Amino acid sequence: MKRTLILLCLLLMPVSALSADGKSTVPTAAALIQHVATRIGADGFSARFFQESPLKAIGIVETAEGQVWFRKPDKVRWEYETPDRLHYVTDGETLWIHSVDDAQVWTGSAQAFFGKSGGARFLADVATVTERFTPGTPTRTKGAFHLDLTPIKPEDPLDRVSLSIDAATYDITRVVSTARTGEETTLTFSRFERTLPALSRFTFDIPEGAMVSPLQ
């Protein structure tokens, strides 16, 4: 579970993206992060996600999909629908992990589990991304900006995180996380809903009869 979340753990063209002669330009990393942090829906949104995790040793790709909700500064609800129904819910302080099919719940401190800047926190509040990562120089392909992030601390389990950002809406549409072990996970986001999710979305009532265990 922790590996999954760590690896997870991570736009109308504005006038500022055009030069005087009408040619597209690439903003600095700081400007790009600021655009993402102030885009429509930055305070909270939901989206569909599709996850791909290649297992190179056996030549297959594990996939999963579901729905995510984010709300500044640190509230996340991440629901895997396939292949297993697994829900991660945090209000910024407490983390609940619910295996729906196994009727099991794990609960504990979100910060102890992820670390202060870990997990998917930067997707809830992208302005915090520089607390954990050093951004590289952005590049651009048709319709998207690309930004590589390098962890500040050498003990960070991630080696690199690469973001794809829609050049019209500044939504983060893809996150590729590469662990120091070489394992790679790609998250692709779609069907954005830019309505602020209710606070109740980020709390969790333990189902009757569920087996409850503390997070280790």
pLDDT computed for residue 12 by the predictor:
26
Query: Does residue 18 form part of some domain?
Result: no
Cβ 198 vs Cβ 73: under 8 Å: no
In-domain check, residue 93: yes
The residue that leads in pLDDT, 111 or 210, is: 210
Question: Would you say residue 19 lies in a domain?
Answer: no
51, 56, 61, 62: CA torsion to nearest 10:
-60
The answer to whether residue 132 sits within a structural domain is yes
Domain membership flag for residue 152: yes
φ, ψ of residue 166 to 5 degrees: the values are -60, 125
How many residues does the structure list for the chain? 216
145, 126, 129: which is closest to 137 by C-alpha? 145
CATH number at residue 155: 2.50.20.10
User: For residue range 141-165, what is the model confidence (pLDDT) as tens digits?
Assistant: 999 999 999 999 999 989 999 999 9
For residue 172, the model assigns a pLDDT of: 97
Does the residue 121 lie in any domain? yes
Q: 165 is in which domain, residue-wise?
A: 2-10+26-206
Q: In the predicted model, is pLDDT for residue 130 greater than 70? A: yes
What are the tens digits of pLDDT across the range 65-121? 999 999 999 999 999 999 999 999 999 999 999 999 999 999 999 988 876 556 667
Residue 84 gets which letter from DSSP? S
Tally Cβ neighbours within 10 Å of residue 197. Answer: 18
Strand partners, 44: 71
Q: What is the pLDDT of residue 3?
A: 47
The confidence score (pLDDT) of residue 117 equals 53
Please indicate, yes or no, if residue 168 is contained in any of the structural domains. yes
Q: How many angstroms from the chain centroid is the CA of residue 134? A: 17
pLDDT over 70 percentage in the chain:
86
- Number of domains making up the chain: 1
- What DSSP letter does each residue of 150-162 carry, written as one string? EESSTT-SEEEEE
Residue 20 has a pLDDT of 34
- Cα separation of 210 and 103, whole Å? 5
pLDDT score at 24 = 62
Three-state DSSP state, 112:
helix
Q: What is the pLDDT of residues 22-77, one digit of tens each?
A: 346 899 999 999 999 999 999 999 999 999 999 888 889 999 999 999 999 999 99
The Cα 85–Cα 65 span in angstroms is 10
Q: String of b and e for 167-183 (b: at least 16 CB within 10 Å)? A: bebbbbbbbbbbbeeeb
Average pLDDT, integer, range 137-141: 97
Q: Is residue 65 part of a domain?
A: yes
